[in-house]
Amino acid sequence: MNLTPVWVVFLGSIFTNNILFASFLGMCSFLVVSNRIPTAIGLGTAVTFVMFCTTVINFLIYHYILVPLGLDFVSFIIFIAVIAAFVQFLEMFVERFSPSLYYALGIFLPLITVNCAILGASLFMVIRNYNLTQTVFYGLGAGLGWFLAIALMAGLREKMGYSNVPRALRRTGIVMLMAGVIAMTFMGFTGMLSTG
Amino acid sequence: MLPAILAVGVTTAVFIALAVFLLIAERYLVNYGVSNVSINEGSTIFEQDGGTTLLSALYDHKIFVPSACGGKGSCGFCKVVVPEGGGPVLPTELPFLSRAEQRSGVRLSCQVKIKQDIQIQIPEDLLAVKEYRARVSEIRQLTYDIKEINLELIEPEHISHHPGQYVQLQAPDPAGGFIHRAYSISSPVYDDTKVQLVVRLVPDGIASTYVHNLAVGDEVLFTGPYGEFRLNDDPDREIVLVGGGCGMAPLKNIVLTAENRWPGRKVKLFFGARTTKDIFYLDMFKELKEQHPNLEVVYALSDPLGPEEHWDGETGFVHLSVDKYLEQTSRRQAFLCGPPPMISAVMQILGEKGMNPDDIFYDKF
């Protein structure tokens, strides 16, 4: 059993082990949807919500169904199915209650299904042997970490509209560079917390 | 063995649980109640359960908006004007809408979902579109890859159309469901109990393979007629027709219809083919020319002649013949039907001959 205190798991998943800047998961939508702050916040919220709910559901399925039956080898397929179903649900929900966010997110809402950060969070939860409380905070923290990353990047990119970027680096090139620089600053958090 | 069965069982159980959860969510979340759909400022109003797409709602009420892709948002044919109640334009529609269209409220009806009372505007012609059931009465092999299919109407028994219009034929999709493909009507307007199509076999084409495998006596379904081309009523105005391959279909219809309605009217037909094997209908036009001296028919072959081939007509790409045979005037109307490079080349020639672009109608494929 992992004995890391809950608050360390929570803060660690946001800063020191930020799922995007430390593990570089979920890069595709991070690169494409980080053009404008409102959209980035919308997608960040959706990813946080899906990540939180799916890690908790996957925790329960994994520890109360798969492990007792000795079926942990089907965990990947079950995790993906849970994520896919949850995203479907979220899509219906957002379309009903926030059409403008639905249209702004467009194709990226269903694509949360294949956002590797979400599956990654479920798998880390298993690898690191978190208990239920830790999982709850880990899922939330990892989601918030991704949210923070995309919101930061959207803020920078909105400002960058005024800068003169060398032609060869425009669009994705400069975003990759900035992501690298931000990742290095996030490395500065390492050592502040020991996440086990 | 046991763990495998257990694994499959548990996985299936989880999948079923998720599916049930989604069905329950759908029942409560995607239920928009009943909305009113009002067409052309209230000339037709019907009620529709919310949550369906506008295109399928219109189909359910026998209003056949053209659609070649079957509502997948990939053909851009199903445009209608939605002044109210359509919600914002979706990213999936943007590639098909010009700025002017976006400003005037044009939408792809397959992407608009009915969630509230909605108003739409449809050209009156589209309201006249019907679904037809027909029987294959005759099939002729015109060239090695082009067939002429004659359809005898069963229900309704008559069709009224303008030359140059097309129908959307329904073909079974091997992947399930149906697809619809547009084919121009090649039989003349006065022959209103039948519809003739000229179809080229496209390699791996779902609909053209289906059509080429039809046998006499088979029943088919299609909707129509669609298309905005209208012949100018002024009999002094010359008609210029340029086509290639199965682009012959609408041109044949226009020639026969025009010669029947205005026997002395000047009609010039240019047809581009690669080799002598691609030539069809030439004998029929030669016979027609004997009764109608004002009809001029020019076939041009673009490939060099093979050792066994004999040809005394024009050679080179068809736009060269157009350039050679037409004199300078703006008093003509043109209909072009063929591959895009041919259309652009002919458009340029017609412009040089003094034609107004508004008088040129084309269909690229």
- Return residues 71-100 of A near B (CB < 8 Å): 71, 73-74, 77-78, 81-82, 85, 88-89, 92-93, 95-96, 99-100
Q: pLDDT over 70 for what percent of chain B?
A: 99
Mutate to test the interface with B, among A103, A108, A109 (most CBs of B within 10 A): A103
- Measured CA to CA, the distance from residue A92 to residue B28 in angstroms comes to 10
pLDDT in tens, B116-166: 888 888 888 788 888 899 999 999 999 999 999 999 999 888 998 889 899
Q: Does A60 touch chain B (CB under 8 A)?
A: no
Interface test with A, best of B2, B11, B32 (most A CBs within 10 A): B11
Please check whether residue A194 lies inside any domain of the structure. no
Residue B230 pLDDT class (50, 70, 90 cuts): confident
Residue numbers in B near A95 (CB within 8 A): 29-30
Residue A140 is predicted with a pLDDT of 94
Residues of A in contact with B22 (CB under 8 A): 85, 88-89
**What integer best gives the mean pLDDT of chain A?**
86
Residues of A in contact with B7 (CB under 8 A): 71, 73-74
**Is residue A58 a part of any domain in this protein?**
yes
How many domains does one find in chain A?
1
Q: How far apart are CA A117 and CA A143, in angstroms?
A: 9
- Give the confidence band of A196 by pLDDT, cuts at 50, 70, 90: very low
Domain of residue A88, residue span: 6-187
- Domains parsed from chain B with CATH numbers: 34-126 (3.10.20.30), 129-226 (2.40.30.10), 238-364 (3.40.50.80)
**Cα separation, B96 vs B108, whole angstroms:** 8
Which of 17-36 (B) contact A at CB < 8 A? 18-19, 21-22, 25-26, 29-30
Question: What integer is the mean pLDDT of B162-190?
Answer: 87
Q: Which residues from chain A sit within 8 angstroms of residue B91, using beta carbons?
A: 103, 106-107
Question: Are B14 and A78 inside 8 Å of each other by CB?
Answer: yes
Interchain CB distance below 8 Å, B19 and A85: yes
Q: Is residue A35 part of a domain?
A: yes
Q: Hey, what are B56's tokens? A: 């399928």
Which segments within B113-218 are labelled E, that is strand?
118-121, 130-141, 146-155, 166-172, 178-184, 194-200
Whether the predicted pLDDT of A47 surpasses 50: yes
Whether A176 is in a domain gets the answer yes
> Could you tell me if residue A196 is inside a domain?
no
The arithmetic mean of pLDDT across residues A47-64, rounded, is 92
CA distances from A98 to A128, B34, B74 (A): 36, 20, 26
Percent pLDDT > 70 in chain A is 96
CB contact under 8 A, A85 and B3: no
Q: Residue A193 falls within a domain, yes or no?
A: no
In this predicted complex, what is the ipTM? 0.76
Cα–Cα dist B28/B7, whole Å = 32
In a domain, A1, yes or no: no
The C-alpha of B116 sits at a distance from chain A's nearest C-alpha, in angstroms, of 12
Is residue B247 predicted with pLDDT exceeding 50?
A: yes
Query: Which residues, listed in sequence order, are joined to residue B146 by a DSSP beta bridge?
Result: B200
Least confident interval from A191-195, B26-30, B139-143, B151-155: A191-195
Do residues B303 and B274 lie in contact, with contact meaning Cβ atoms separated by under 8 Å? Answer: yes
- How far off is chain A from B112, nearest CA to CA, in Å? 12
Q: What is the pLDDT of residue A1?
A: 64
Tell me, what's the pLDDT at B365?
A: 67
How many angstroms away from the CA of B86 is the closest CA of chain A? 12
Find the CB nearest A103 among B18, B22, B88: B88
Is residue A192 assigned to a domain?
no
CB contact under 8 A, B30 and A92: yes
Determine the pLDDT at residue B147.
Answer: 92
Round to whole Å and give the CA distance between A129 and B242. 74
Among B198, B130, B207, B137, residue whose Cα is nearest residue B169: B207
The predicted-structure confidence for B205-216, as pLDDT tens digits, reads as follows 888 899 999 999
Instruction: Give the DSSP letter string of B26-51.
Output: HHHHS---EEEEEETTTTEEEEEETT
Strand pairing of B332-338 and B360-364? parallel
